[in-house]
């Protein structure tokens, strides 16, 4: 297998056009390759500046989860810190987590930041929303967001029976919009309140009404932490 290391967006596009498979830290894909066979070529974005940027409202897709630090909002930092073990975080990337894995711990945090993504397509770099990232797993160059006023994040530690840990995240933006996202199992529910929309109770009675008691109480605690009520 040839591992290609482009140093620009246009070189990366050429690699993809020539059939190279995107790879981050290979923490997931390696096992699949061992089972199914290695591709002729893979492409890592780790030398593409846009994919390694951190800070000023940007987190590159090739940034290692272990490198997600105070240059990004607390919610995203907490999410990265809670993924797997130290060994996983030293190898796994933001793109591999949010676009290439099923757990996607970073997703609830990205949703409450109202983040969007720069993705690589055959025509260049496109901005897409997180719904499209979830649906199509495009090649993620970077995540972008506007700085929140405050955020809160929690992941249930070691749930019984090896279940997928529940995650709840909340953030308040500068326009007074509160966003809440909860992952239960592999499903992420989310909604917003304030700034002309409904209130927090409507949020829990509406888009978040399907949550379990655990999910609702975890989400309520994040809302309280953000709103200081
Ligand atoms: C022991 C262990 C524990 C884990 N625990 C958690 C956990 O608690 N929470 C959690 O969320 N995840 C967990 N994971 C999964 C983890 O999130 C993924 O292993 C990791 O994020 C994949 O990142 P990677 O860079 O290694 O991706 P790779 O293994 O390199 O790639 C995985 C997939 O993503 C694609 N991909 C890679 N980069 C990009 C990109 N920039 N854009 C689009 N697609 C891309 C690849 O083509 C491939 O299909 C765990 C994994 C392990 C091994």
Q: How far is CA 44 from the centre of its chain?
A: 18
Task: Give me ligand 1 centre to Cα 33, in Å.
Answer: 14
Task: Give me ligand 1 centre to Cα 91, in Å.
Answer: 9
Domain ranges of the chain: 2-144, 150-227
Per-residue pLDDT of the chain (229 residues; tens, 9 = 90+): 999 999 999 999 999 999 999 999 999 999 999 999 999 999 999 999 999 999 999 999 999 999 999 999 999 999 999 999 999 999 999 999 999 999 999 999 999 999 999 999 988 899 999 999 999 999 999 999 989 899 999 999 877 777 899 999 999 999 999 999 999 999 999 999 986 667 999 999 999 999 999 999 999 999 999 998 6
Task: Give me ligand 1 centre to Cα 139, in Å.
Answer: 13
Going by alpha carbons, the residue nearest to atom 33 of ligand 1 is 100
Chain position carrying tokens 């482009």: 6
CA distances from 198 to 157, 172, 192 (A): 32, 14, 8
Task: Give me ligand 1 centre to Cα 217, in Å.
Answer: 29
Write out the CATH class of domain 2-144. alpha beta
Residue 159: what pLDDT?
Answer: 74
> Does the CB atom of residue 105 touch ligand 1 within 6 A?
yes
Nearest to 168 by CA among 94, 229, 82: 82
Residue 144: what pLDDT?
Answer: 97
Residue 161: what pLDDT?
Answer: 78
Cross-strand pairs, 169: 153, 181
Instruction: Pick the atom of ligand 1 nearest to 103's CA.
Output: 11
Q: What is the DSSP string of 22-77?
A: E-SS-TTHHHHHHHH---SEEE--TT-HHHH-EETTEEETTSBGGG--TTS-HHHH
């Amino acid at each position: 297998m040839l591992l290609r290391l482009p140093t620009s967006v246009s070189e990366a596009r050429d690699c993809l056009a020539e059939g190279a498979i995107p790879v981050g830290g290979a923490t997931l894909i390696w096992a699949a390759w061992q089972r199914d066979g290695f591709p002729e070529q893979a492409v890592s974005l780790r030398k593409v500046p846009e994919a390694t940027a951190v800070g000023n409202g940007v987190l590159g897709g090739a940034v290692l989860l272990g490198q997600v630090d105070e240059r990004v909002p607390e919610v995203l930092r907490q999410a990265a810190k809670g993924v797997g073990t130290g060994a996983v975080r030293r190898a796994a990337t933001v793109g591999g987590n949010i676009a290439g894995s099923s757990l996607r711990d970073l997703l609830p945090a990205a949703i409450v930041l109202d983040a969007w993504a720069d993705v690589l397509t055959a025509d260049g770099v496109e901005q897409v929303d997180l719904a499209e990232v979830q649906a199509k797993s495009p090649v993620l160059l970077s995540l972008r967001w506007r700085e929140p006023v405050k955020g809160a994040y929690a992941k249930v530690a070691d749930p019984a029976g090896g279940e997928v840990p529940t995650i709840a995240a909340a953030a308040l933006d500068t326009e007074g919009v509160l966003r809440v996202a909860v992952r239960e199992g592999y499903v992420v529910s989310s909604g917003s309140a304030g700034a002309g929309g409904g209130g927090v109770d409507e949020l829990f009675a509406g888009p978040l009404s399907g949550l379990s008691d655990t999910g609702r109480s975890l989400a309520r605690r994040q809302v309280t932490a953000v709103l200081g009520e």
